[in-house]
Amino acid sequence: MSDKDLISQIVEENKDEITKLARDIWDFAELAYNEYRSKDAIMRVLRHKGFRIEEGIADIPTAFLATCSVGSGKPNIGFLAEYDALDGLSQKACEVFETKVEGQNAGHGCGHNLLGAGTVLAAIAVKEFLERKQENGTVMVFGTPAEEGAGSKQFIARAGYFNGVDFIYTWHPSTYNEVSGVGNVAIMGANFHFSGIASHAGSTPELGRSALDAVELMNVGCNYLREHMIDQARIHYAYSNAGGTAPNVVPAHATIKYEVRAPKVSQMQELFARIVNVAKGAALMTDAKMEYEITMAFSDYVANRTLGPVLEEALKEYGAPEWSAEDYNLASSFLSTYNKTTMTNIRDELKMKFSMDNISSLLEKPLHSDVFSYNPYENKYESASTDVGDVSYVAPTANLYMATAGLGTPKHSWQNTAFSASDIGFRAMIRAGEILALASIKTARMPELIKDAKEEVKEKNGGKYICPLPEYVNPPINRY
């Protein structure tokens, strides 16, 4: 029996249990750092399969590490499970019009229910494969909550949990099947607090020092800074304390929240330092005092170029999920839920992605039924960020995208929530599990390749992972 067939056989034996797990997590729809029922359901399945579990790692109650050693226990094979939902995206399963599940606000609009369960399937398949073939390895499943919150993987990385991991394969629900060469940008968030002196704004303004003026001047300074930064960088801000509501009082305290993004963590840190200088300048101009605290940070993510081709090989061996006529029908009925502007965007994106002008056949059967090739030198970044970035700065990491939803489905939408509990979503999740398992088995047998993949990480992090979060930042449990 080929490796692929043995993996498929193990997957077949576990398919129903994992589909139920994905559906349960979808029903629980728990928000960042509150995924208690979801992680319990996952841990129950893993424990039953013989995994040893350490709960609450890195001081995050809904994080865990499940391990199972086979034979000599080497190499260490890592998987990342996510299981958090998004607020405001409650939606009934498979319904083709917007309708909330009664009494529920959150929904799996990013498909993390599929992500978590699919990863668990891959881990179980690898463990049982190693046992049946009498090969070696330690399978490690990292339960990583709050990807949609302030993240957890960077805290788990800072605590050293990924240090001994030889390689990690993970995946994310998408509308395409591919190992993407496109990266995710690094991000840092901080609160800037300004303090001045309160005073009567009419009778004694000369005694007052306005913290609100300082904030406004900081924003003006940052808006001028935008001309002199790299194109792919982003600066966003929001007032969290605008200094009160009384115009006749000089505002003594004001706070502004900033988020800075740039392709590489080093570029992001450099830009953040310039923003701190602007804040210092604003404080100097207004005679206010400024303090800032970093609240969140992720490193950038780019697929490990040594692992990418192995994952792609496994993807090509299995191919896209095998869609049924009902799957195509369901996907095409969702296309009718988008307005004209969204449809124009969808058409433009599909033309670019598939390099073709006539996409009418795609829109008739809107499920990706093929796989895209991996281009490790694509060198593009999505302007979104993920905490997988920090994992990739510690251990070789590669990410697979699998079409769990119809072509054109926007991320974080009610349509995506509906797809995440459909046969389309479940079919793609099972396929993702098979592919991750096959890629892991292939890699475990290639110690030279693992060495190269680790060298690549060293080149990227300069020899040692440095967490972009200062020590004083703790996981913001129930504060985010």
What is the full DSSP assignment across 290-306? EEEEEEEEE--B---TT
Per CB under 5 A, 432 contacts Zn ion: no
- Please, what is the minimum distance in Å from the beta carbon of residue 239 to Zn ion? 28
- Please, what is the minimum distance in Å from the beta carbon of residue 173 to Zn ion? 7
**DSSP-H helix ranges across 319-422:** 325-335, 340-354, 360-364, 388-392, 414-419
Residue with the two structure tokens 């396929």: 431
- Please, what is the minimum distance in Å from the beta carbon of residue 112 to Zn ion? 6
- Please, what is the minimum distance in Å from the beta carbon of residue 48 to Zn ion? 27
> What is the distance between the alpha carbons of residues 49 and 129, in angstroms, rounded to a whole number?
13
Span from 50-58, 102-110, 187-195, 330-338 in contact with Zn ion (CB under 5 A): 102-110
Backbone angles phi, psi at 315, to 5 degrees: -60, -45
Span from 12-20, 108-116, 267-275, 306-314 in contact with Zn ion (CB under 5 A): 108-116
Span from 9-17, 110-118, 350-358, 435-443 in contact with Zn ion (CB under 5 A): 110-118
- Please, what is the minimum distance in Å from the beta carbon of residue 14 to Zn ion? 24
What is the full DSSP assignment across 185-241? -EEEEEEEEEE-B--BTTT-GGG-B-HHHHHHHHHHHHHHHGGGS-TT-EEEEEEEE
- Please, what is the minimum distance in Å from the beta carbon of residue 308 to Zn ion? 20
Q: State the DSSP code for 162.
A: T
- In the complex with Zn ion, the residue whose CB is nearer, 147 or 259, is 147
- Going from the C-alpha of 201 to that of each of 198, 216, 247, 282, 350, the distances in angstroms are 9, 17, 7, 20, 57
- Please, what is the minimum distance in Å from the beta carbon of residue 165 to Zn ion? 21
- In the complex with Zn ion, the residue whose CB is nearer, 89 or 235, is 89
Per CB under 5 A, 86 contacts Zn ion: no
| Residue 449, both tokens | 């390749």
Backbone angles phi, psi at 78, to 5 degrees: -100, 145
- In the complex with Zn ion, the residue whose CB is nearer, 110 or 117, is 110
Per CB under 5 A, 110 contacts Zn ion: yes
| Residue 224, both tokens | 């001028």
Contact criterion met (CB below 8 Å) for 268 and 187: yes
In the bound complex, which residue of the shown chain has the CB atom lying closest to Zn ion?
110
Measured from the Cβ of residue 147, the count of other Cβ atoms closer than 10 Å reads: 22
Span from 103-111, 125-133, 370-378, 456-464 in contact with Zn ion (CB under 5 A): 103-111
- Please, what is the minimum distance in Å from the beta carbon of residue 146 to Zn ion? 11
Span from 106-114, 203-211, 435-443, 453-461 in contact with Zn ion (CB under 5 A): 106-114
- In the complex with Zn ion, the residue whose CB is nearer, 149 or 208, is 149
- In the complex with Zn ion, the residue whose CB is nearer, 171 or 393, is 171
Angle between helices 423-444 and 308-318 (to 10 degrees): 130
- In the complex with Zn ion, the residue whose CB is nearer, 67 or 416, is 416
- Residues of this chain that bind Zn ion (CB under 5 A): 110
